[in-house]
Structure 1
Amino acid sequence: MHARLTGALLRAAAQVSTLWVVLTLLLFAWLGRPLWQDPAALASLAGFSWNPAAGQYGLGAMFAGTLLLSSGALVLAFPLGLLCTLFVLALGPRALARPLRQVLTLMAGVPTIVYAFVAVWLLVPWLRDSAGVGMGFSWLAASLTLGLMLVPTVALPLIGVLAPADAALAPSCDALGLRRVQRLLWVTLPAHKPLMLSVLLVAAGRAAGDTLIALMLSGNAPWLPQSPADPLRVLSAHIALSLATDTESTAYAAIYASSLLLLAWVGFSHALSRRLMR
């Protein structure tokens, strides 16, 4: 009886969540109707110029900025997360592995705005004054901060799945004379490549959807950066910045087009991640 009730509640929660996402998509589509009714404005979405006063509503620079910032963050987060996983499971001494796992758990619970504020006061001045990275607010500053925040997103799921899987393989590998590190690197990790790709996709979805770090650290310039020292703007920050008082304007409708694009990006990442985990 208890199991049936729990199953029914879980199914109901899943159905409500699905319905909520569908309703959100329909709401965005309805609120963006001024854009859909203007062929010229709709065609301009694919451009790289955002200038509502001139009838230009290009989201290309923001889409590219989202891709660049997410990629920069993942270049830092995934290797660090994988190294933390290896350290906790095999490479590090037990006296340090347990505290590192606790630190990762603590990092996962720290609000995004805390990472952003610390980076504004410490990282940005260092990049500007010591490293000579422009004004400090840049693609590089946002990528470093976002990458650090995503390390637990990569490491904790890997540790949670690989630890019991590695323990289950221990008797067979011990019989073959493999050490713990060899077992993890040669057997456990190769057997869980879909898991690692799935974790990477989840981290990519979270990187694309983050707002505060991009809003506070990237510089928010709506054009393509030429180097990591340049500012950029991502879709999530663009939505937060591009507020319009006239809710019927084309510029306001373009915000909902940005929302649809961002939701599709994150949804695709998570759907592909779930498919890989099956």
Structure 2
Amino acid sequence: MPDTALPQPPRESRRALAGKITLALLVAAALMAVLCAAAMILPWWFAFREEQQWEDECNAGLHGCDPLPTRSTTWAPSSPGYSPSRTAVPSTEAGSLASSREAGTGPCRLIRPYAASVLRPQKVVAYVVRDGRLLVFLHADDASFDQSGLQVPAGTVRAGELPEAAVLREVVEETGLEGLRVERYLGASEYDMRPYADAIHVRHFYHLSIDLPEVPERWYTEERGEGGSAPIRFECYWLPVAEGHVLAAGQSALLGRLFD
């Protein structure tokens, strides 16, 4: 039986095939390099864009990032036209945020996201001062002082709400006081809640006063939770401002600015 050999492709065809395989391998290696670079660069890029978006929103006044409100507003649930979501609050009449930002001042210069994967809720903290004393409260139903500590009125800024409106709302909800007046914006800072909570609070601090002839020395209030949750009882009283360093969870961070 005669030997039958398979026909061999020409040498040029073998070279062309080897060239195509080499090119395919090079293309695959290049794609892998691009994917690896994207995996390293994209997290940084998203964090950078988040920072830029925050600063742009501040410049547009969407977060109330005005370092120096120039006039005050009285607010209470009994006031005509009151609405918790109403944003009719003071605006800056002297200088713009952009100029303060260029000078290195104002909250937008201070607040720069450095942990994009961590929640960064916007918070407000109220220093309500009367006759040299600071409004504070305890959680009346806590088993011990260590559970929540001594606090001042504070809370979360709702969607579409300016910080100045939020701080007034929080004081009323937690203390029941009315006739509140925002004296001035003290500044902003960050507080890392970890490990208690996986969040970094962006806090806006305000100095408030009360336009009432008399206020109680010590009283109890209840804050109604959302979704039908049980109310939270607070024991409110007045503490000398000089003793405010005992506040829990870093709430005394900008207390010294009351004296600036």
TM beyond 0.5: no
Higher helix share: 1
TM-score, normalising length: structure 1? 0.21
Q: State which structure, 1 or 2, has the greater radius of gyration over its C-alpha atoms.
A: 2
